């Protein structure tokens, strides 16, 4: 049996799949925080190019992928699908386990799937500079790579604690030609305000988003780019699931359960939306499990409310599961999962019980990551270990029940640039985190005034 | 046109190619340093399993790859062959450029190609523990991975300066279950002797080899493993070139020149030996260019002499181009190229003018690596940038001459774990290094007494 199921470059999807077309309950509209009215394209045009805004509000089922984007996808796509034979053997499970591996991309995660089209539409509309934020650095690296392909300048606001502690990612961005600034910086009003309050702040993703947006609004030739959460970002990631459906057809298989970590939602959407379509339109009954860290449990402990996507309140209000935009998650190593909200689309799907959510502690996740490395030879990014841990739970359950279920998960990135996280784990420096109900309630109270009447 | 040329798992070669069978001048035998007589299997059996010793001394043209080894190869092989369309465009060259990409392996380089069969033959013969040395850590990681696949213990002696400065690689080895010790250590006589002389020593590859060999000799259930230089190691890497020949057939192309970095010789051998066979037996006239760092120029400035492979003089004497086993190369970031000698097979081929050699300075190599990242989306290991730099020279020459030559090189590993090297480059901290003739002559004089009469 083949270990990997590979596709040809001609199998790269020709269209992105837009789940809005098939959702039984359409997502509620984003709101302009000043007027309380639904935010339209005009609210977004200062920061995004029109090509992406059209995708953000589209209800078309399929949107064509430009040829130039597909050409760049060929640098690493189609991504391989692996049968996890080593893991199955180690767990002695009757379950069949498959993983799609997105770590083969230039930046080592799924993020370039959307960075490339985002850079493309900006380039098409004459934009010269793109700004963005990054936490641990996965997204910033992906956008830096995409900008290098289109000759665009890229300006990255990197959360200060990561900037100081994780120099490798910064240098990767520099290598692709991007400028990287620790956030908060003195380059924006949002940054200066925070620094005036607390010069020693370690920063946050919400602050960095505010800085990147402010820079984009200041200059006509500059736009902003976001690596998750928004509809068009999730749209671009659906090539992952589309490829996987074809690969599983070759294997003669179909998943009973699909597992992926959820930070903003783009990774989870990428692998699951094309399969959710088959539940909605083709009578399939696959389960979909979004895995979040117990230290940032918006899906399992957050509220479905309108909230900002950033700290300074520059973004439209989005209807989503949130911990409140002032929530400060513990400094876990899975930086990509430390975000206070879940994308509008994933939130609506969870509300409608079309997907499930589970929160896991980081020690269980790192233990799973080490086991997976020995079984399959791939060291996973800390974010990806959350999927591995849940898959192990599902496989062990299959063993207990004696059922032959088929488990699919998205291994969204490798951990080569995250080895200090594993070092801390081996050294016993990591601990589990549980959020107090009081803190959660206090954070939620702070956004109650933002709700429409 | 496809960007990548992929093969199926059934295309993984069934045999390793042994160039000894086709060499016009066979390599001279290794010598037992005590007797001055040719070293035979008995000299090697305290440190290597018989399966590998037989390969070391074999003159068979092809040696079958065990099924279990091919199964593990499937985790990442066949490795992709890329057409470097982005680089060609950036250089505006009429040359066609292809690169085989070995960075897709579990440890991120070509090293697992030999680590897996080495672990396999040890396991077959009942060995429980394998010791080895590592410089920057590529080899140690590969062996740690291979040992994890066979349930073997792995003990790695890591050159102290790398152990202290490059913690990521150490943690990768730990993740695969290996124990890692900074070398020199107090676990061996060789290590204790060096520490007594200089407690603050930063170590060297030669010292670490001595330590690993000493540990293997002390214990019957423990053997030693080397990541380059030896015949059987080069043999295992020939799957790289064999796959590439098939991939280029699909592309309807054949190389006019093959380029690869040379540290000990296994990477160079892997991509080039199957093509050299076609020169020797099939009338082809491809050029083969081994690229070494100007700071460790054994091929271009060393002497063809008998010398030890390690510092303490534990290994047999090998006939090779060498700078003398006490040569201490500058602390360049391309750690895998900081070795005083070249493998016996590569040395004989160079002596017979069947291959060429060139020495490059590191600044030119890093500049090439940055350009390549922007063109092709892959950040290369510092070792691999030496190939990229030479390829750029060849492509520019083709442009000047207006010739349409086909250039092939081996991109032997990614640089995700080497980003501090790029940081030093961007910060202007790196410089070029030229070795003085006096130093070279002094080092060579020290090994004159080792020559047979």
B368 falls within a domain:
yes
Q: Report pLDDT for B202.
A: 86
Residue B186 — very low, low, confident or very high, per pLDDT cuts 50/70/90?
Answer: very high
- CA angle A65/A109/B381 to nearest 5° reads 115
Q: Report pLDDT for B206.
A: 83
Dihedral sign of CA atoms B347, B353, B354, B356 in order: positive
Q: Which of A78, A419, A426, A429 to mutate to test the interface with B (most CBs of B within 10 A)?
A: A419
Q: Which of B5, B175, B430 to mutate to test the interface with A (most CBs of A within 10 A)?
A: B175
Answer yes or no: do A373 and B176 touch at CB < 8 A: yes
Please tell me the distance from the alpha carbon of residue A177 to that of residue B405, in angstroms, as a whole number: 30
Spatial CA neighbour of A183 closest among A156, A165, A216:
A156
Spatial CA neighbour of A86 closest among A401, A449, A392:
A392
Determine how β-strand B15-17 pairs with β-strand A4-5. Answer: unpaired
What is residue A239's three-state secondary structure? helix
Q: Report pLDDT for A278.
A: 98
Residue A322, beta-bridge partner list: A303, A341
B372 falls within a domain:
yes
Please tell me the distance from the alpha carbon of residue B11 to that of residue B6, in angstroms, as a whole number: 10
Using a pLDDT cut of 90, give the percent of chain A over it.
89
Q: Does A175 touch chain B (CB under 8 A)?
A: yes
What is residue B84's three-state secondary structure? coil
Q: Does A176 touch chain B (CB under 8 A)?
A: yes
CB-count burial class (<10 Å; 0-12, 13-18, 19+) for B21: middle
Chain A's closest residue to B148, CA to CA, is A374
Between the two ends of chain B, the Cα-to-Cα distance in Å is 59
Residue B436 tokens, joined? 């003085």
Between the two ends of chain A, the Cα-to-Cα distance in Å is 59
Q: Report pLDDT for A204.
A: 84
Residues with Cβ within 8 Å of A230's Cβ and at least 6 positions away in sequence, in order, are A56, A343
Residue A326 — very low, low, confident or very high, per pLDDT cuts 50/70/90?
Answer: confident
**CATH code at position B242:** 3.40.50.1100
**Model confidence at A1: pLDDT above 80:** no
Q: Closest approach of chain A CAs to the CA of B173, in angstroms?
A: 10
Q: Report pLDDT for A206.
A: 83
Using a CB-CB cut-off of 8 Å, the residues of chain A touching B169 are 419
Inter-CA distances, B449 with B190, B306, B441, B445, B453, Å: 22, 10, 14, 8, 10
A403 falls within a domain:
yes
**Model confidence at B85: pLDDT above 80:** yes
Q: B119-132, pLDDT tens digit by residue?
A: 999 999 999 999 99
Higher pLDDT, A303 or B332: A303
Q: Report pLDDT for B312.
A: 79
Choose among A106, A174, A377: nearest Cβ to B426. A174
Show the DSSP H helices in A252-402 as ranges: 266-282, 298-301, 344-351, 362-376, 382-401
Please tell me the distance from the alpha carbon of residue B244 to that of residue A412, in angstroms, as a whole number: 29
Please tell me the distance from the alpha carbon of residue A274 to that of residue A15, in angstroms, as a whole number: 12
Using a pLDDT cut of 90, give the percent of chain B over it.
89
| Size of chain A in residues | 453
**Model confidence at A330: pLDDT above 90:** no
Q: Report pLDDT for A329.
A: 83
Please compute the mean of the pLDDT values over residues A392-412 and round it to a whole number: 97
B363 falls within a domain:
yes
* Total domain count, chain B: 1
Choose among A172, A177, A379: nearest Cβ to B379. A172
**Model confidence at B403: pLDDT above 90:** yes
A443, A327 contact by CB (below 8 A)? yes
Please tell me the distance from the alpha carbon of residue A248 to that of residue B286, in angstroms, as a whole number: 42
Q: Closest approach of chain B CAs to the CA of A296, in angstroms?
A: 26
Residue A77 — very low, low, confident or very high, per pLDDT cuts 50/70/90?
Answer: very high
* CA-only gyration radius of chain A, Å: 20
Answer yes or no: do A4 and B4 touch at CB < 8 A: no
Q: Report pLDDT for A453.
A: 77
**For chain B, how long is the longest CA-to-CA vector?**
62
B119 falls within a domain:
no
Tally C-beta pairs within 8 A across A and B.
117
B417, B171 contact by CB (below 8 A)? no
Determine how β-strand A356-360 pairs with β-strand A406-411. Answer: unpaired
Please tell me the distance from the alpha carbon of residue B166 to that of residue B54, in angstroms, as a whole number: 36
Please tell me the distance from the alpha carbon of residue B425 to that of residue A213, in angstroms, as a whole number: 31
Backbone angles phi, psi at A94, to 5 degrees: -80, -10
Q: What is the ipTM of this complex?
A: 0.95
Q: At what angle do helices A167-175 and B419-426 cross, to 10 degrees?
A: 60
Answer yes or no: do B419 and A417 touch at CB < 8 A: yes
Determine how β-strand A356-360 pairs with β-strand A287-293. Answer: parallel
Please compute the mean of the pLDDT values over residues B54-64 and round it to a whole number: 97
Residues with Cβ within 8 Å of B215's Cβ and at least 6 positions away in sequence, in order, are B131, B155, B157, B187, B188, B222, B224
Higher pLDDT, A170 or B204: A170
Choose among A148, A370, A379: nearest Cβ to B374. A148
Please tell me the distance from the alpha carbon of residue B221 to that of residue B406, in angstroms, as a whole number: 49
**Model confidence at B118: pLDDT above 80:** yes
- Considering only residues 98 to 127 of chain B, which have any Cβ-Cβ distance to chain A shorter than 8 Å? 104, 106, 108
Tell me: cis bond preceding B358? Omega within 30 of 0 counts. no
Q: Report pLDDT for A313.
A: 84
Q: Closest approach of chain A CAs to the CA of B339, in angstroms?
A: 25
A28, A305 contact by CB (below 8 A)? no
Answer yes or no: do B422 and A75 touch at CB < 8 A: no
Show the DSSP H helices in A199-238 as ranges: 205-218, 231-237
**Model confidence at B46: pLDDT above 80:** yes
Spatial CA neighbour of A238 closest among A420, A100, A113, A112:
A113
Q: Does B73 touch chain A (CB under 8 A)?
A: no
Chain A's closest residue to B84, CA to CA, is A75
Lowest mean pLDDT segment, chosen from A278-292, A434-448, B14-28, B230-244 = A434-448
Q: Report pLDDT for A343.
A: 97
A4, containing H or E segment: strand A4-5
- Considering only residues 255 to 274 of chain B, which have any Cβ-Cβ distance to chain A shorter than 8 Å? none
Dihedral sign of CA atoms B69, B75, B81, B87 in order: negative
Residue A161 — very low, low, confident or very high, per pLDDT cuts 50/70/90?
Answer: confident
Please tell me the distance from the alpha carbon of residue A60 to that of residue A221, in angstroms, as a whole number: 29
Chain B's closest residue to A86, CA to CA, is B149
Answer yes or no: do B377 and A8 touch at CB < 8 A: no
CB-count burial class (<10 Å; 0-12, 13-18, 19+) for B243: buried
Residues with Cβ within 8 Å of A137's Cβ and at least 6 positions away in sequence, in order, are A158, A162, A166, A168, A169, A170, A172, A173, A335, A417
Q: Does A283 touch chain B (CB under 8 A)?
A: no
B64, containing H or E segment: strand B62-64
Q: Closest approach of chain A CAs to the CA of B403, in angstroms?
A: 27
Q: Report pLDDT for A328.
A: 83
Using a CB-CB cut-off of 8 Å, the residues of chain A touching B174 are 422-423, 426
Q: What is the dihedral of CA A358, A361, A364, A370, to 10 degrees?
A: 100
Q: Closest approach of chain A CAs to the CA of B382, in angstroms?
A: 13
Determine how β-strand B129-134 pairs with β-strand B222-224. Answer: parallel
Q: Report pLDDT for A335.
A: 82
Using a CB-CB cut-off of 8 Å, the residues of chain B touching A175 are 369-370, 373, 379, 419, 422, 426
**Model confidence at A20: pLDDT above 90:** yes
**Model confidence at A311: pLDDT above 90:** no
Backbone angles phi, psi at B292, to 5 degrees: -120, 160
Please compute the mean of the pLDDT values over residues A320-324 and round it to a whole number: 97
Reported pTM? 0.96
DSSP A337: G
B32 falls within a domain:
no
Q: Does A168 touch chain B (CB under 8 A)?
A: yes
Q: Report pLDDT for B24.
A: 97
Average pLDDT, chain A: 95
Using a CB-CB cut-off of 8 Å, the residues of chain B touching A422 are 171-172, 174-175
Answer yes or no: do B176 and A374 touch at CB < 8 A: yes
Q: Does B151 touch chain A (CB under 8 A)?
A: no
| Size of chain B in residues | 453
Q: Closest approach of chain B CAs to the CA of A315, in angstroms?
A: 32
Answer yes or no: do A74 and B420 touch at CB < 8 A: no
Spatial CA neighbour of B43 closest among B230, B321, B237:
B230
Q: Does A190 touch chain B (CB under 8 A)?
A: no
Burial track A312-331 (b if 16+ CB lie within 10 A, e otherwise): bebbbbbbbbbbbbebbbee
Q: Does B18 touch chain A (CB under 8 A)?
A: no
Please tell me the distance from the alpha carbon of residue A116 to that of residue A410, in angstroms, as a whole number: 20
Choose among B104, B149, B373: nearest Cβ to A176. B373
Choose among B145, B167, B370: nearest Cβ to A175. B370
Please tell me the distance from the alpha carbon of residue B217 to that of residue B310, in angstroms, as a whole number: 15
Q: Does A9 touch chain B (CB under 8 A)?
A: yes
Show the DSSP H helices in B176-238 as ranges: 189-197, 205-218, 231-237
Chain B's closest residue to A424, CA to CA, is B171
A419 falls within a domain:
yes
Residue A146 tokens, joined? 């995409």
Please tell me the distance from the alpha carbon of residue A318 to that of residue A44, in angstroms, as a whole number: 13
Q: Report pLDDT for A312.
A: 80
Q: Does A68 touch chain B (CB under 8 A)?
A: no
Q: Report pLDDT for B162.
A: 87
**Model confidence at B313: pLDDT above 90:** no
Chain A's closest residue to B175, CA to CA, is A370
Using a CB-CB cut-off of 8 Å, the residues of chain B touching A106 are 377-379
Q: At what angle do helices A189-197 and A205-218 cross, to 10 degrees?
A: 140
Residues with Cβ within 8 Å of B436's Cβ and at least 6 positions away in sequence, in order, are none
Answer yes or no: do B148 and A176 touch at CB < 8 A: no
Q: Closest approach of chain A CAs to the CA of B33, in angstroms?
A: 39
A355 falls within a domain:
yes
Q: Report pLDDT for B51.
A: 97
Spatial CA neighbour of B382 closest among B361, B408, B396, B397:
B361
The domain of B408 spans 4-8+66-108+232-450
Answer yes or no: do B145 and A6 touch at CB < 8 A: no
Block residue for tokens 């409608």: A352
Chain A's closest residue to B143, CA to CA, is A377
Please tell me the distance from the alpha carbon of residue A100 to that of residue A76, in angstroms, as a whole number: 13
Q: Does B422 touch chain A (CB under 8 A)?
A: yes
Q: Report pLDDT for B74.
A: 98
Please tell me the distance from the alpha carbon of residue B377 to that of residue A147, in angstroms, as a whole number: 11
Answer yes or no: do A177 and B8 touch at CB < 8 A: no
Q: Does B370 touch chain A (CB under 8 A)?
A: yes
Please tell me the distance from the alpha carbon of residue B368 to that of residue B383, in angstroms, as a whole number: 12
Other beta carbons less than 10 A from residue A137's beta carbon: 29
């Amino acid at each position: 049996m083949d270990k990997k199921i590979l596709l040809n470059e001609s199998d790269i999807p020709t269209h992105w799949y837009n789940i809005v077309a098939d959702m039984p309950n359409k997502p509620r509209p984003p709101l302009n925080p000043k007027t309380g009215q639904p935010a339209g394209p005009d609210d977004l045009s200062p920061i995004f190019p029109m090509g992406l805004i059209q995708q953000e509000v589209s209800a078309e089922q399929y949107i064509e992928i430009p040829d130039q984007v597909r050409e760049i996808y060929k640098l690493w796509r189609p991504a391989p699908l692996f049968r996890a034979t080593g893991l199955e053997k180690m767990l002695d499970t009757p379950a069949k386990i498959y993983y799609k591996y997105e770590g083969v991309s230039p930046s080592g995660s799924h993020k370039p799937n959307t960075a490339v089209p985002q850079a493309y539409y900006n380039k098409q509309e004459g934009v010269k500079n793109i700004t963005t934020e990054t936490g641990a650095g996965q997204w910033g690296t992906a956008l830096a790579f995409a900008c290098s392909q289109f000759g665009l300048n890229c300006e990255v606001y990197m959360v200060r604690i990561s900037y100081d502690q994780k120099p490798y990612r910064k240098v990767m961005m520099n290598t692709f030609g991007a400028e990287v600034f620790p956030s908060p910086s003195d380059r924006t009003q949002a940054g200066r305000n925070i620094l005036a309050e607390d010069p020693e702040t370690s920063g946050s993703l919400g602050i960095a988003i505010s800085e990147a947006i402010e820079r984009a609004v200041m200059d006509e030739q500059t736009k902003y780019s976001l690596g998750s959460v928004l509809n068009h970002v999730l749209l671009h990631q659906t090539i992952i699931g589309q490829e996987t459906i074809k690969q599983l057809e070759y294997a003669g298989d179909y998943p009973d359960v699909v597992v992926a970590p959820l930070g903003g939602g783009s990774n989870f959407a990428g692998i699951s939306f094309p399969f959710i379509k088959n539940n909605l339109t083709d009578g399939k009954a696959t389960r979909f499990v979004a895995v979040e860290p117990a230290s940032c449990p918006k899906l399992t402990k957050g509220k479905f409310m309108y909230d900002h996507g950033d700290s300074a309140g520059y973004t439209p209000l989005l209807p989503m599961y949130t911990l409140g935009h002032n929530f400060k998650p513990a400094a876990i190593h899975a930086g990509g999962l430390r975000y206070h909200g879940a994308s509008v689309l994933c939130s609506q799907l969870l509300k409608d019980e079309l997907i499930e959510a589970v929160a896991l502690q980081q020690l269980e996740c790192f233990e799973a990551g080490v086991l997976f490395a020995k079984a399959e030879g791939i060291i996973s990014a800390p974010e990806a270990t959350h999927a591995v841990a849940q898959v192990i739970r599902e496989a062990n359950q299959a063993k207990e029940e004696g059922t032959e279920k088929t488990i699919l998960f998205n291994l969204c990135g490798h951990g080569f640039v995250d080895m200090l996280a594993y070092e801390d784990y081996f050294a016993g420096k990591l601990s589990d985190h549980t959020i107090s109900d009081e803190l959660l309630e206090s954070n939620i109270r702070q956004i109650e005034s933002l709700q429409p009447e």
